Amino acid sequence: MAIEIERKFLVNGDKWRSLATGITYRQGYICTKKEAVVRVRIVGDRGYLTIKGLTVGNSRAEFEYPIPLSDAQTMLETMCEPPLIEKNRYLIKHGELMWEVDEFFGENAGLIIAEVELKAENQVIELPEWVGMEVSHDPRYFNANLIKYPFSKWTD
Amino acid sequence: MAIEIERKFLVNGDKWRSLATGITYRQGYICTKKEAVVRVRIVGDRGYLTIKGLTVGNSRAEFEYPIPLSDAQTMLETMCEPPLIEKNRYLIKHGELMWEVDEFFGENAGLIIAEVELKAENQVIELPEWVGMEVSHDPRYFNANLIKYPFSKWTD
């Protein structure tokens, strides 16, 4: 079991684009209840099944297993609530930390989010200049909610 | 992906007991919606995560992955709706077919079910003498429903 401590930010401008090459992500959710989220994900040409537990503060239990690509494809097509989440992920090292910048497509086109994983909840971090407002605690930005209320339908 | 074609029966008498040794099963469900069931199971000392799709006739898509025992224990304790299903499973060969006899404990104590997996929906099978009434299509006997309405609470 891994404990995941993450902070999530909006992104300013385009300076991050020249710093990395994006990898294609396609993912959906079999289950999105409070106690557990079950995610199916295809990263490039590899399939993964991920189980996440209850979020407590910024921490969350997470179990991830590689699965055959064809299993992941069948699960995405027949078991996940549409729309699927489609995005390119860019991994950008800044100081000691690895940032993940997600550029969304499909029903969430226009949304770009930067996430960083921390070792402790109170860890001090240096923000790159292209990182904007923090949205760690705004549930609209949870991936599971980007399916129910995609970015293209937000009114504010 | 495996397609599972199963028939399920009640059990008469005790003659099946002398034919095999039981293995302990402990399992729970992270998700039990129509499109997908996510099951966590500990068989003896091995953990498994299983995803089952929509049932069409007697057939159902099924994906099963071995997972670490400690992952399965955490999922059973923190992500699954109680009560957990606890049973001993006996594997009994009869003719060409392998029967699974499940003897339930806990909230389903008293219930014993025999299941057989088939190669085709119309396959003719020879029933052992200890096999009774067929319950393949009775949803009360689905494992997921034995949590919501355990055998000890049935009124008929």
Q: Which H/E stretch holds residue B81?
A: none
Say yes or no for a CB contact (<8 Å) between B31 and A30.
yes
Tell me how far CA of residue A109 lies from CA of A57, A86, A92, in angstroms: 29, 9, 21
Tell me how far CA of residue A31 lies from CA of A82, A83, B149, in angstroms: 12, 14, 22
Q: Which two tokens stand for residue B135?
A: 């319950």
Chain A residues closer than 8 Å to B63 by CB:
67, 71, 74-75
pLDDT score at B91: 96
pLDDT, tens only, B18-36: 999 999 999 999 998 888 9
Task: Tell me B73's DSSP state.
Answer: H
A29 is catalytic: yes
Max Cα-Cα span within chain A: 43
pLDDT, tens only, B111-134: 999 999 998 888 999 999 999 999
Nearest beta carbon to residue B36 from set A30, A51, A71: A30
Per-residue pLDDT tens listing for chain A (156 residues): 556 788 999 999 999 999 999 999 999 999 988 889 999 999 999 999 999 998 777 667 899 999 999 999 999 999 998 889 999 999 999 999 999 999 999 999 999 999 999 988 889 999 999 999 999 999 999 877 898 899 999 987
Q: Which H/E stretch holds residue A40?
A: strand A37-43
Q: Give the SS3 label for residue A30.
A: strand
B126-153: buried (b, 16+ CB within 10 Å) or exposed (e) per residue?
Answer: ebbebbeeebeeeeebebbebbeebbee
